[in-house]
Amino acid sequence: MKKHSVTISGHRTSISLEDEFWTGLKEIADHRNKALADIIRQIDKDRGNHNLSSAIRIAVLDHYKSRIPTTDQGKDIDLHRSIRAE
**All domains of the chain in start order, with CATH:** 2-85 (1.10.3990.20)
Name all contacts of 28-36 with Cβ < 8 Å and 24+ positions apart: 28/59, 28/60, 28/63, 31/63, 36/6
Q: How far apart are CA 55 and CA 71, in angstroms?
A: 29
Q: What is the pLDDT of residues 10-32, one digit of tens each?
A: 899 999 999 999 999 999 999 99
Backbone angles phi, psi at 69, to 5 degrees: -70, 150
pLDDT in tens, 40-77: 999 999 998 989 999 999 999 999 988 887 665 556 55
